[in-house]
Chain A
């Protein structure tokens, strides 16, 4: 099937509106053509038949009281043709056949001195009969002369012409159909270009809210595209409002959280209460720290996803120094959890495209994950294997099963067995968003030793 039946299609509509009238016209043309063909063939054949008839009747004469007839050979010869039609004639006077085939049916009403034609049969075979009633001097009644021929030739000629007509019409129909298809395709091409433009934006990781260019849009689609552009504008406003709200709300949350944290820390320091109370305070303290982490991550994500200029990605920084500095900060945390951390890189600086602040935040989030989900005695390796701009952060923790490696980049997605950890579920989203700003990509792999997780960040080399 070429078209889906339920979905409206412009192409189908155009084809329908063009084809239905076109077919009606062709049908009318067929009938008119057939009628014209028949008339033309009949007229031409009848003229020959009439010529033959008159050649015979011209020779009728009275000689010495007898009606004489000199049948010229050419009179019947002119009726010969390739289809071997049979020719019959008869001469009669006062209803009696004088000579010729008596089986030729007698004519009906006749007008004098005029040739008339009619269709009839001869032994069951269709024939065409020409009749003339001629007055011969000395005779009081007219002599009836009839010449007939079978219609093989007429039928064959008519048939040939009708076949030619039908072939011509079919050819016309095919040419028009092809032209309509091409014209519809060509006419709808601007819409296809629009679709491509929108598709490309779909593949763009950053949502592009810029209006679609109107210059190449056909007039007919202009209102639609304009309306779409204005919708884009509305969506962008709503989107920015939401982002600003997230960011503002997170900032506002910090002030009360600071109060809570300060007092909880004071309580835990100077509390002389029961063990139960100390336990409760420790729980509150941990919850507050988790909440703080979440808020900082939310702000970080809002910042990473904020619209940015292209100039940002154009600057450069030393990946080796940036990674080492961030890893040094996190080494303390790793050591506090009895984990080992090591850094492998060449001695030379490696400049890549992007911002050191963003890259530092990416690396910090990856290290934070490795430490948070790792186990005491675990090992984290931070590696810059060569000068291609690749950074690897490898741990021997629980890892992420391959089927979840796409989903962990979604906001707030956390693996089922990790919900008791105080992570925010935003770390990898932030890593990805920051990466996009600098044209860097992140993927998760299984380390060569088969356990844990290897995060591979590909920065853009200069």
Chain B
């Protein structure tokens, strides 16, 4: 897998290069928009990190020309501005994600990983969280290698929580995922499934936290 970094700040570029080389990716770096436009046609990149403030041309123009030349690689734009209009423009012109400076490198890593997966048309068939594994294709769920006996609805709740791990998922969202429009849903139906899941997840070292009034959150204990 190959990653292209278009960044004119050499010191920052060295940092980002180091991050992704440590992850075992092949990383190229250019500092000018023109160079980026050339190299992106020659090499099959899995993702591009594009800084919007480039010396020779505007990053948004680079983005526009890449998309005009049918370069379909996933692109993450980096900018020192966080005005909403900048973000909207970037996304409108074909960027896949957006990160404003300064950022935590964990965040950058996570976003780039997600972009690469998306580019491969492969939304992670097996999700892993600690000792918990969930195979989206088959629906089989394992804790420490042992198959977990889950009903269809319990698995749906768990899958939604796993996709959004570490953030609060609104109750309405879970309810929509779990119950069809025709299902008669009592007000406490979701709580029943959450309670059962909690019991079954006990040995996994994971917990489902209730955030009163806001939803549920899955995290490692």
Q: Mark B174-190, 1 if CB is under 8 A from A, else 0.
A: 00000000000000000
With contact pairs A255-B9, A332-B166, A335-B219 given, residues A341 and B211 touching in the complex (Cβ less than 8 Å): yes
**Docked complex Cα distance between A432 and B96 (Å):** 34
Q: List 10 A–B pairs whose Cβ atoms lie within 8 Å, in order of A's numbering.
A: A255-B12, A259-B11, A261-B103, A262-B102, A262-B105, A327-B214, A341-B212, A342-B214, A343-B213, A344-B213
Contact between chains at B84 and A357 (CB < 8 Å) = yes
**Docked complex Cα distance between A4 and B93 (Å):** 69
Contact between chains at A265 and B105 (CB < 8 Å) = yes
With contact pairs A341-B211, A345-B213 given, residues A266 and B9 touching in the complex (Cβ less than 8 Å): no
Q: Mark A331-342, 1 if CB is under 8 A from B, else 0.
A: 110010000111
**Docked complex Cα distance between A344 and B212 (Å):** 8
With contact pairs A328-B214, A341-B214 given, residues A266 and B167 touching in the complex (Cβ less than 8 Å): no
Q: Mark B89-133, 1 if CB is under 8 A from A, else 0.
A: 000000000001111111000000000000000000000000000
Residues of chain A within 8 A (CB-CB) of B170 are: 324, 328
B212 CB, min distance to chain A CBs, angstroms = 4
Decide yes or no whether B217 CB sits under 8 A from chain A: yes
**Docked complex Cα distance between A327 and B18 (Å):** 35
**Docked complex Cα distance between A252 and B81 (Å):** 9
B210 CB, min distance to chain A CBs, angstroms = 9
Instruction: Give chain B's interface residue range (CB within 8 Å of chain A).
Output: 20 to 34
Contact between chains at A343 and B214 (CB < 8 Å) = yes
Task: Considering the complex, give the chain A residue whose CB is closest to the CB of B211.
Answer: A331
- Contact residues of B between 162 and 207, Cβ < 8 Å to A: 166-168, 170
Task: Considering the complex, give the chain A residue whose CB is closest to the CB of B213.
Answer: A343
Contact surface of B with A, Cβ cutoff 8 Å: 9, 11-12, 15-16, 18-19, 22, 53, 80-84, 100-106, 166-168, 170, 209, 211-215, 217, 219
- Contact residues of A between 256 and 278, Cβ < 8 Å to B: 257-263, 265-266, 269-270
User: Which of B15, B82, B100, B168 is in CB contact (< 8 Å) with A266?
Assistant: B15
User: Which of B16, B166, B211 is in CB contact (< 8 Å) with A262?
Assistant: B16
User: Which of B15, B16, B217 is in CB contact (< 8 Å) with A332?
Assistant: B217
A56 CB, min distance to chain B CBs, angstroms = 120
Contact between chains at B168 and A262 (CB < 8 Å) = no
Contact between chains at B104 and A261 (CB < 8 Å) = yes
User: Which of A255, A342, A345 is in CB contact (< 8 Å) with B211?
Assistant: A342
Contact surface of A with B, Cβ cutoff 8 Å: 251-252, 254-255, 257-263, 265-266, 269-270, 288, 292, 296, 299, 303, 324, 327-329, 331-332, 335, 340-345, 357, 382
Task: Considering the complex, give the chain B residue whose CB is closest to the CB of A379.
Answer: B212
A294 CB, min distance to chain B CBs, angstroms = 12
A396 CB, min distance to chain B CBs, angstroms = 15
**Docked complex Cα distance between A263 and B12 (Å):** 8
Contact between chains at A254 and B214 (CB < 8 Å) = no
User: Which of A259, A270, A331 is in CB contact (< 8 Å) with B214?
Assistant: A331
Residues of chain B within 8 A (CB-CB) of A258 are: 9, 12, 80, 101-103
Task: Considering the complex, give the chain B residue whose CB is closest to the CB of A347.
Answer: B172
**Docked complex Cα distance between A331 and B167 (Å):** 8
With contact pairs A254-B101, A292-B102, A332-B168 given, residues A324 and B214 touching in the complex (Cβ less than 8 Å): yes
Task: Considering the complex, give the chain A residue whose CB is closest to the CB of B104.
Answer: A265
Interface of A is mostly: helix
**Docked complex Cα distance between A315 and B127 (Å):** 42
Residues of chain B within 8 A (CB-CB) of A252 are: 80
**Docked complex Cα distance between A329 and B19 (Å):** 27
**Docked complex Cα distance between A27 and B213 (Å):** 89
Contact between chains at A261 and B167 (CB < 8 Å) = no
Residues of chain B within 8 A (CB-CB) of A344 are: 212-213
Given contacts A259-B15, A357-B84, 6 further A-B contacts (CB under 8 A): A254-B102, A257-B102, A262-B16, A263-B15, A270-B22, A328-B214
B221 CB, min distance to chain A CBs, angstroms = 12
**Docked complex Cα distance between A266 and B20 (Å):** 11
Contact between chains at B82 and A299 (CB < 8 Å) = yes
Contact between chains at B217 and A255 (CB < 8 Å) = no
Residues of chain A within 8 A (CB-CB) of B217 are: 331-332, 335
**Docked complex Cα distance between A252 and B18 (Å):** 24
B199 CB, min distance to chain A CBs, angstroms = 21
User: Which of B105, B167, B212 is in CB contact (< 8 Å) with A342?
Assistant: B212
**Docked complex Cα distance between A299 and B81 (Å):** 9
B135 CB, min distance to chain A CBs, angstroms = 27
Residues of chain A within 8 A (CB-CB) of B215 are: 328
Task: Considering the complex, give the chain A residue whose CB is closest to the CB of B15.
Answer: A262
**Docked complex Cα distance between A242 and B187 (Å):** 55
Contact between chains at B213 and A342 (CB < 8 Å) = yes
Residues of chain B within 8 A (CB-CB) of A260 are: 102
**Docked complex Cα distance between A270 and B53 (Å):** 29
Residues of chain B within 8 A (CB-CB) of A266 are: 15, 18-19, 105
B171 CB, min distance to chain A CBs, angstroms = 10
**Docked complex Cα distance between A10 and B152 (Å):** 89
